[in-house]
Structure 1
Amino acid sequence: MDMKSFSLEGKVALVTGASYGIGFAIASAYAAAGATIVFNDIKQELVDKGMASYKEAGIDAHGYVCDVTNEEQVQAFVKQVEEEVGVIDILVNNAGIIKRIPMCDMTAEQFRQVIDIDLNGPFIVSKAVIPGMIQKGHGKIINICSMMSELGRETVSAYAAAKGGLKMLTKNIASEYGEYNIQCNGIGPGYIATPQTAPLREVQPDGSRHPFDQFIIAKTPAARWGEAEDLQGPAVFLASDASNFVNGHILYVDGGILAYIGKQP
């Protein structure tokens, strides 16, 4: 096997919402594999922070302000990237939010906001980059799904609905554009140690683990939270020529949670 098939040399990779966290980790791995990195965020302040982080990591990234739910903005953004950086070879739909609110306490407006960012956003950005990929003769789209693409849990009705929809959007993009040598796959992270999940891992005043932390450790065969770096290898694989015959697949990087029924009490 030619290991060069894992190289991203000469490729332009757009990772949405990649100022920090999972998106930043994936973009950093792409840069190490040779790709030119483009990212966006919704505010200039976040883009500036992201640019500082990339610079500190020695990565020459290109940052833009763009709201992924605004189709006109996204079309203009993609056109600008094509003119200033190059046609996008790799798209990672990473931008997303979660609202942990019991379903009967959640307003329809809150529900729509999660759906808009987590599901409509990937549709809008994918739609904007696919024509360039068709013209170029290849493309990789990677949607950041979730275990909630498969499972439900208390307080995440909107998130689960969006991520379940994103799983099926992934399969449909693969079905509709596979003939153009475009592969669309998803990554379903397990519980990852990021700034957003830090409150769920705080040590309690009595020195014990947070109850949710205990729950996740007990439910994960790996017996730990994932790190953002755990997603880098799978992300590079799905962005590279090594995955050219992998299409419409969701790769769950969850430490084994989805395979595990849990220990008997």
Structure 2
Amino acid sequence: MAAQIPVRATNRRRGDGRPLTDAHAAALTGSAADAGAHLDLVTDRPRMAELAAILGAGDRLRFLTGALHAEMMAELRWTTEEARRTGDGIDVTALELDAVDLAFLCLTRDWSNLAPLPGFGGGAALERPARAAVAGSSALGVLSVPSGEHLRGGRAMQRMWLTATALGVAVRPMTALLYLFPLLDAPEPLDGRQRATLRHLRDRFAAVVPQPPRRRAVLLVGLAYADPPSVRAARRPVEAVLSFD
């Protein structure tokens, strides 16, 4: 498995939608179990379609909430040079967008272009990328661990991802919505309407992928059979993030 570390990568290319093989499904769920986690694989199209709608609505909420929009844009690297210089963030090339969708993303970069939309229920197009990503996926995977055991979740994620890499299965993180759910217990940045929207999305998500008590979903990924990614994310050198005293 260690041999897969240098080649592991996020792959946002659209898949061909063919079903995940039983052997691959067993290998992926087994890798998570070996790390003390549980991987739910959603493979039936009605449940995948519901998750696509939930994820799309979550993306729309992120784009149309000022603080969340700023946070999201701060993650993006708009040129290859910027991606290499920072060694972090998401190179927009890695989003695998066509020219039209890339132009649309550039428009959304400026908050003033989006700020008026919530007032009249606009922004439906912001849901399209998530729906398209799910449509090309073979399965959606939801990784869960006992509440509070984030380190175990990270280990399980790594094992699952490396296993997928060895199998030739593309992995596309789609976890942002899960990270929004804790905002329901925070005073900011959501207003009352946004909070109600997020609570409704959480309830819908729980209906599709219910978790037992004292267990929490920590990762959601799209799994697909797809061509290799156009670019690989820049990585910081080990010495930039690890030191010994």
Both structures adopt the same fold (TM-score exceeding 0.5): no
The structure showing larger relative contact order (alpha-carbon pairs under 8 Å, at least 6 residues apart) is 2
Q: TM-score, normalised by structure 2?
A: 0.30
